[in-house]
Structure formats: structure tokens, C-alpha cells
Amino acid sequence: MEEEEQKRVLDLVKELVLRLVSNSSSPEEESTIESEKALKYAMRILGSRMTPSISIDEASMAESIKRHLVNEGKSSDALTFADLHTKFSSKSGSGCIQNKWSVLYLLKVISEDRRKDKKSDSRVSSGFFASTVSGGLPVLVDESSCNSRKTLDKSRISNGNGGVLLISKDPENIRDIALRDFANLLKEESEIVEGCLVRDVLYVSQGIDGKYVKFDKNLDGYVLLDSIKVPKSMRIMVRKLCELGWLFKKVKAYVSESMDRSPSEDVGTVGQAFCAALQDELSEYYKLLAVLEVQSVNPIPMVSESTNSGSYLSLRRLLVWFAEPMVKMRLMAVLVDSFKALKGGAMAGAIHMHAQHGDPLVQEFMRRLLRRVCSPLFEMVRSWVLEGELDDIFSEFFVLGQPVKAESLWVEGYRLHSVMLPSFISSSLAQRILRTGKSINFLRVCCEDQGWADAASEAAAAVGTTTRRGGLVYGETDALEALVTEAAKRIDKHLMDVIYNRYKFKDHCMAIKRYLLLGQGDFVQYLMDIVGPELSEPANTISSFKLSGLLESAIRSSNAQYDDPDILDRLRVKMMQHGTGDRGWDVFSLEYDARVPLNTVFSESVMARYLKIFNFLWKLRRVEHALIGSWKTMKPNCISSHFLTKKDCPVKSQFDSTLRRCQVIWDEMNHFVSNLQYYIMFEVLEVSWSLFVEEMEAGEDLDDLLAAHEKYLRSIVEKSLLGERSQTLCKTLFVLLDLILRFRSHADRLYEGIYELQARTMESSLSIRGKNKSKPRSTKEATEFGSWAGGGRKALTQRAGEFLRNMGHELDRIANEYSSTLEGFIGQLPMQQHVDLKFLLFRLDFTEFYSRLRVST
Amino acid sequence: MDPEAFRNARESLELDFQTTNILETGLDRHTLSVLAAFCEKGLQSRVAALVKELRRESQTNPTTTPAAPTFP
């Protein structure tokens, strides 16, 4: 195989030699020896393995040929060539030339050689041409390499007309001479070679002072020493290049400062990640510098090996090389500058703001940084959402935890730290993140539940992100959102399950409604009956233990006894703070102990409002109870109807009218109280409750539940006139209720008096028969009556008339006061904002009795 | 050799030849085809040197005249 190849090459060489040498029309026999010689020579050349180092690039080769043609002023040829070349390079398939580049190369070299031969004097142009081929500007030839050329030129110029001839013959030469002059000029102007400056710039861009370029503290920048004489353009260029060094120094200082700080200081994990990312960028930069440094030593690779050019890197080339690192370094310096005071989420947010940039380079760079910077942040989110752990020693996370009691864990335990919230996380998402972690913590601390772990891992599996670390990166906000949504959904569901099923939230709500809001009628009735006498005593003499016992018996004697003992256990008597002169009624209340975790919903403030409602309802009940109690005595009976016979006519009619008056007032009051009671029960409590139940069932998380409960409570407070806005109305209402109680005591006194009189009449009639039997009376009235006893029938009737008159006056006063207050109350009602209060008005003034009354007055 | 390949080769050579003329290398078709064969073997730079040397050789020889560009 090898041999065959050799043979083929030999054949080709023979052919070539024959073509090139013996083609020259010399006689066959003569040339054979010569061609023999030439063949040997050819083989030697072929064996010599001279291979110039040039890169294989067909397009650039073609380009250089074209440019050369144009330079020679043969632009039509150049066009033809371009056309030919496109055709040539588009050829493919079997049979055509594979190594197209080499053919081009060969042709070019041959053509170059030929031109050299043709114009024996245009040796310079070959150098020129070579540099064109290398793809750059003409190289400024340095002294050593062009010495020979110079001498040649000089001799020619001294020749006189030869030079003129040459110039006219070859337009290239003018440019060439100009270039050379320029090179000389440069040489004169600058003391140092460009290469040294390049090396210095490379040093400086690593933050190290070079030999000629040093850091100037006054100017705060790197400058070329004044003592060195270089052209101004070069000085400016060096200055431009040295900006990179200055920026680098800044970034480097920040990184090393942050890295060196002890971990206890507040760099934070995000800050550390930022530094690491910067470090990575810097190491990329170092790589570039290393490559450049190598390049600065290497010469430019040339197509033709003959020319000796300067080092590859010039200041201008460096300028190009440094363009991109300069942009990056500037960005880094800007970031470093603006982030000195920032940390954590705030830092990530700030970088994110920088990433909103139109330049894809900047965008990409920032994204890369962010991916690194955000990883600790996302890790925090992940562990918070899936494990409820807040491992944030440097307080960088946008959720802040603070140690609180278990019952306020949900409300106050954690909050969003808006400064640390990076802008790429929306506030609704942040809320959801906060709530999910909070739910986990709530479950763990308050509910002592472990099931959330399953829910969390289930959520993670559903999203596809495993629960391990580093699953989330910046830029995948969707993934984050999906994870949070899934986790929130499951954990909230689990939490609601726990609250409803294990802690029976609904049952407790129901219990509070039944006992604290007096929904359980028979229980309230019994309780009122039992504790009534006790509560009439002054507040400071009442023992709450006794009341607890009474509560117990009320429970046992009502249907409440069938309730869950757990619920009944939580029901307690509470005595409020009492002042002097308070009765038991003023301080008595019931209390419900919700316990952890339900006291998150039934917090102290909520319970205080329940207490307020309870007091109101309790008072209303008491008034109703009192009215019903007085009805028992006021019912028409034989005593009242047989009291005083016809003989005492004026007194009898007075008696009848007083009783009648009493009945009328009672009826009016009863109308008011029962309608108010109805309104409270049906328009307020039950309506609010059914709305609450609906919302409770629709609620997906604890926040919804809290909101629903809050709404429920607020609507009760507002509708039952206990709110802020209806304070005056409420006061009027309480005055009314007090009046009713006063009426009750008067009515009681009236009837007591009547019974006493009746008894006296019987007694006196008996005493007429000679049997004086007066009982000792403890009450004042009784002694009064006692004194009448001896007075006889007439005196008795007189006394009765006087008593009735007094009572009548009293009643009148109460009635007047009551009707005026009620009028005020009804007058104020329509001014209330709440729509449902209208129903109360309709109900109270159903026959328009009051409104007509008001119109008439 | 199938006709397609043959045609291809011919066309390529023709294109090459025209390029040669533009560049004024003074090579004829046959020489060009030989050179192309060299190139296919990756010997382009050596062959370039060889051509140069051979030309100089023939130039120094008084009997030989430099190969003028041959136009078809």
C-alpha cells in the first residue's frame, strides 16, 4: 500500500518535472539528463518536509486572494474569481477535488512566486501581500527584518530615475514607503516596544503593577508613568485598557473582604453565594488572561513562512479582546458597589432588577449570577414549604419568625419581611409560601401532628421536584410556584382535616353558639331560674364556686347533659371585675375555654367580644325572664278581681285603672322585648351562623377560616347594636332594659301591696269577730299595714287609696320615661347603617303605632 | 469511473484552470491536473516549493524561457 503510494507520487513528480522543465521546447535527447537531474532535485525537495504553520481555512484563503486582486487594481478579475470560487466550492461528490483549500493555496503561492519572478524589483510587495494573506493590516516592519530592503531602496533612490520609475510602475510602493516612514516615526516617538506595554497591561488587568504602568492613588487608577515617552494615542489606549484593572481590583477587594469576614458577621448565605459566583466569573477571566499571556509571546501565524512579524498581541488587539470582559467587569463592579449594604433576598431582588436588561450579554450574565445567588434562597423556600424549617441565621429570608406563645403562633409567629422579598417572587406567592410554612409549624407546635410530612412529600412528588436539596433554580418561577401551590394545597387540606376532625372545630363553634350565645333555650331557662336569686346579691358576696355548682346543675337538668363531656368541661363561670354597688347580674358571665390549637381562632380578643355579646344577650334574657315573672303575678285572678267591693267606689275605680295601667305598660314592654329577642335570635344569630357555616365549608385554609369567623363575629356584634357606631343606641337600649327591670320591681310591689291589703281586709274582718292575729312583718310595707290594722275598714280603704295613688304615680313616671326613651330609640334606629336593623324597626313599629304617635306630637 | 464523477472532475478542473489564469500562474491544464493530484495527497506546500524551484531551474537555463501564461 505504502509502496504503491510512493510509486504514484513518483509518477506524479515525473510528470510534473516533465511538464515544467522539458516543456521548454528543448530537444528530447538533451533534456533527458537534465530532467533526470531535476527529478532527483524534486524528490529531495518533496522529502524535506517543510510545512509552514497556517490554519486551514478555505474561505479566508479565497478572501485573501480576492483582496489581493483588488489591491492590484484588477477588480473585474476579483469578481470573476469570487464567482469561480463559489462554483468551485459548491462542487461536491465523487470525482471532484476534495481538498479544495490546498488547491487554492497552491495556486496562490505559485502565483505569488511568479509575480516575484516577473517583477524582480517588487520584493517588498511580497511582504505586503503576505500580511494581507494573514488577514490583518500591513505589519509595521521593524528595523532588523527590513534592513536589507532598506538598503536596497536607498540604493535605488540614489539611483535617481530608478526610484521614479519604480514609483510610477508600482503604486503599492507609495503606501509601502509611507508605512515604513510611519514605523520609523513610531520608533522615534516611543521609548519602549509595544510588546512591553502589552505585558504591562496584562499584569495590570490582574491588579498587579507593571513595569511602566502603575497604580496612582491620587488619580485612583492605573496610569502609564509620565517619564516614559510614548505616542499620545498609545497612552490613551493604555489608559482605556487599564480601566479593566481598576474594576478588577474593586471586585476582587469585595470578594476577598466578604470571604475573609468571619461567618458570624452578616455576609449571609446569599452574600456568600454571590461572592462565589463572582469568584467563578473571575476565574473565567483569569483563563482568558492566561491565554492572552501565551499569545503575547507567540508571533502571528503567517501564511507564508518567510515574513517575520511582531508578537501577535498589540494594544489594539487587546482592546478587542478586552471588550467583553470589560462589560462584565463593569457590571460586577456596579453590583459590588450597590450591594455593599444589601443582603439576602434584597440582594437577589436587586440583581434581578439588573437582569431586566435588553442586552443579551448582560441578561445572560445576570441570570448566571442569579442562579448561583438564589440557590440558598430557594433552598430556604424549599425547606420552609416542605419542612417548615426556618434555617435563616442571617435573617435573609423573606419570612421572619419570632418566638410567641402557641395560641398566637398563627397570627403573630411569622410574618413577611418585605425588604427581603426579591421582586421576582410575587407578593401573593410569598403569602402562600408564608402560609404553607406557617401551617406546617402550626401543625407541629399546636396540633402535635406528624401527618404533614406525608403531605409535604406527596406534594413534592406531585411536582416532580424531589425533596432533596438544590431542586430549584432561578428562572424557573413556574416550578417554584407549582411546588408552593402543591405543597400549600396539601398541607392546608391536612391542616383543615386536623382542625375539623381531630379538634372538632365545628362542634366547638356550635357549643359556643349554644352556651355563650344562649342558643340552648332550656339550659338558659334553668340557669336563669337557678342563679337568679344568687345574682341579686351584691357582687362581692357571691362565690364563683357556688355559681359553678349551679351551672353544673343547670347542665344536668337540661338537654345539655347529653353533650360531649369534653365540651361541657370547657364551659365555666366567669366573674368579671366588679365595683362597689354592682349586683351579681352585672358581673356574671359564662366562658368557654377553647384550648390549643383552637384558641388560634378563639383568641383572647375574640373571646372578649363573645363575652360582650353574652352579657348583652344575658341581660336581654334576664329582662324577658323578669317580664314573664311579673306576668305570673299580674295575671287576672280572683284576689285582684274580688279586692274591694263596690261600696268603696272611688277607690275601686282607682284600683282598676292602676291595674289597667300596669297591664298596658307591661304589654308595651313585652312587645318591645319579645320583638328584640326575636330579631336577635333569627335575624342576627341564625343568619350569621348559617353564613359562617357556608364559608367554613368553602374555606381552604386556616386564614379563610379565621376570616370567616371574624366576619361571623363582627356581623353579630354590629347587628346586635354592640358595635362602635351604635354606641348611643346601645346605651338607650340598656336604659330601656333598666326601666323594664324597674317596672318589674314596681309591679311586684304593687301586687304585693294588693295581696297584703287583701290579707289585711280579711284579717280586719276576722278581728271584728274578735280574733286579732297580726303576724310580725319584716318588710317596711308590712309594718305600715300593721299600723293600719287597728284603723278599721274605713281607714284601710283610705290607706289603700293612698297606696294606689302612690303606685299610680310611680307607674306613670316609669311609663313616661319609658315611652320617651323608646321614642328616642325608634327615632335613632333608621339612622343605623346596617341594613338588617331596618327589620327590627319594621318589627317594633309594625302597626305604625309609634311613627303615628311621633307625627301627632 | 462513472460519467457523473468524470463530468464533475472535468468541471472542477475547468474552474481551477480559469482561476489559474486569473492569478497568472502560467500553468497549463495538464500541469494543473498533476498539481491537483498532489493537493489531494496533502502535499500542497511542498509541491509549491517544488514548482518554484523547478521554474527557477528552468529560468537559469538559458535555453529555456519562462513558461508564459497559456490561454486556451
Q: Per-residue pLDDT tens for A358-399?
A: 888 888 888 888 888 888 888 888 888 888 888 777 778 888
B63: confidence class by pLDDT, cuts 50, 70, 90: very low
Which of B 36-55 lie inside 8 A of A, CB atoms?
36-55
Which of A 41-100 lie inside 8 A of B, CB atoms?
41-42, 45-46, 48-52, 65, 69, 77, 80-81, 84-85, 87-88, 91, 93-99
Whether B53 and A17 lie within 8 Å, measured CB to CB? no
Whole-angstrom Cα distance, residue A607 to residue A598? 12
The pLDDT of residue A128: 42
Distance (Å) from the alpha carbon of B72 to chain A's nearest alpha carbon:
17
What backbone phi and psi angles, to 5 degrees, belong to A99? -90, 70
CA angle A285, A290, A294 (to 5 degrees): 145
- With a cut of 50, say whether residue A148 has pLDDT above it: no
Burial class for A605, CB neighbours closer than 10 Å (0-12, 13-18, 19+): exposed
Whole-angstrom Cα distance, residue B8 to residue B12? 6
Residue A299 is given by DSSP the state: B
| CA-based nearest residue to A429, from A358, A395, A469, A477 | A477
Whole-angstrom Cα distance, residue A147 to residue A145? 6
What backbone phi and psi angles, to 5 degrees, belong to B62? -65, -25
Tell me the pLDDT tens digit for each residue of A266-311: 677 888 888 888 888 889 899 988 888 887 776 655 444 444 445 6
The pLDDT of residue A800: 79
Q: Which residue of A has its CA nearest to B42?
A: A102
Distance (Å) from the alpha carbon of B1 to chain A's nearest alpha carbon:
8
A591: helix, strand or coil? strand
Among the partner-chain residues A42, A93, A110, the one whose CB lies closest to the CB of B8 is A93
Residue A310 is given by DSSP the state: -
- With a cut of 50, say whether residue A779 has pLDDT above it: no
- Which segment, A89-98, A253-262, A435-444, is predicted with the most confidence on average? A435-444
- With a cut of 80, say whether residue A407 has pLDDT above it: no
For the record, the C-alpha cell of B70 comes out as 497559456
Where do the structural domains in chain A lie, given as residue ranges?
Answer: 2-47, 51-89+98-118, 197-338, 345-502, 629-672+722-851
Residue A40 in contact with partner chain B when CB distance is under 8 A:
no
The pLDDT of residue A689: 93
Peptide bond before residue A27 is cis, with ω within 30 degrees of 0: no
- Give residues with Cβ within 8 angstroms of A493, minimum separation 6: A455, A700
| CA-based nearest residue to A701, from A461, A490, A473 | A490
Among the partner-chain residues A38, A96, A115, the one whose CB lies closest to the CB of B54 is A38
Whole-angstrom Cα distance, residue A52 to residue A101? 15
Task: Give the global pTM.
Answer: 0.63
Higher pLDDT residue, A517 or A451? A517
The pLDDT of residue A775: 43
CA angle A712, A714, A716 (to 5 degrees): 70
The pLDDT of residue A341: 75
| CA-based nearest residue to A345, from A286, A291, A386, A397 | A397
Whole-angstrom Cα distance, residue A491 to residue A704? 14
Neighbours of A145 (CB within 10 A): 14
Higher pLDDT residue, A762 or A427? A427
Distance (Å) from the alpha carbon of B14 to chain A's nearest alpha carbon:
10
The pLDDT of residue A157: 41
| Residues of chain A with C-beta less than 8 angstroms from the C-beta of B22 | 69, 77, 80-81, 84
Q: Is the separation of the CB atoms in A304 and A112 below 8 Å? A: yes
Q: At what angle do helices A161-169 and A172-189 cross, to 10 degrees?
A: 110
The backbone region for A135, taken as left when phi is positive above 0, alpha when psi lies in -120 to 50, beta otherwise, is: left
For the record, the C-alpha cell of A26 comes out as 528543448
- Which segment, A65-74, A165-174, A304-313, A778-787, is predicted with the most confidence on average? A65-74
Secondary structure (H, E, C), A213-278: EEEECCCCEEEECCCCCCCHHHHHHHHHHHHHHHHHHHHHHHHHHHHHCCCCCCCHHHHHHHHHHH
Whole-angstrom Cα distance, residue A79 to residue A200? 45
Neighbours of B28 (CB within 10 A): 16
Q: Which residue of A has its CA nearest to B53?
A: A42
The pLDDT of residue A566: 85
**Mean pLDDT over the full length of chain A:** 77
Among the partner-chain residues A51, A105, A117, the one whose CB lies closest to the CB of B66 is A117
Whole-angstrom Cα distance, residue A88 to residue A73? 23
The pLDDT of residue A135: 43
Lowest mean pLDDT among A44-58, A321-335, A591-605, B15-29: A44-58
- Average pLDDT of the residues in A28-35: 58
Residue B25 in contact with partner chain A when CB distance is under 8 A:
yes
- With a cut of 50, say whether residue A121 has pLDDT above it: no
- Average pLDDT of the residues in A90-94: 66
Whether B22 and A81 lie within 8 Å, measured CB to CB? yes
- Give residues with Cβ within 8 angstroms of A765, minimum separation 6: A793
Per cent of chain A over pLDDT 70 is: 79
Among the partner-chain residues A46, A87, A102, the one whose CB lies closest to the CB of B39 is A102
Burial class for A413, CB neighbours closer than 10 Å (0-12, 13-18, 19+): buried
Per cent of chain A over pLDDT 90 is: 2
Tell me the pLDDT tens digit for each residue of A638-658: 766 666 655 556 777 888 888
The pLDDT of residue A144: 43
Q: At what angle do helices A702-719 and A687-698 cross, to 10 degrees?
A: 170
The pLDDT of residue A56: 65
Whole-angstrom Cα distance, residue A80 to residue A103? 17
- Which segment, A39-48, A80-89, A153-162, A464-473, is predicted with the most confidence on average? A80-89
- Average pLDDT of the residues in A605-613: 89
For the record, the C-alpha cell of B1 comes out as 469511473
Lowest mean pLDDT among A340-349, A460-469, B40-49: A460-469
Whole-angstrom Cα distance, residue A371 to residue A621? 67
Among the partner-chain residues B18, B48, B63, the one whose CB lies closest to the CB of A24 is B63
Whether A24 and B42 lie within 8 Å, measured CB to CB? no
The helix or strand, by DSSP H or E, that contains position A354, with its residue range, turns out to be helix A344-355
The pLDDT of residue A712: 92
Tell me the pLDDT tens digit for each residue of A196-245: 888 888 888 888 888 888 888 887 888 888 777 777 888 888 888 888 88
The pLDDT of residue A692: 92
- Average pLDDT of the residues in A527-552: 86
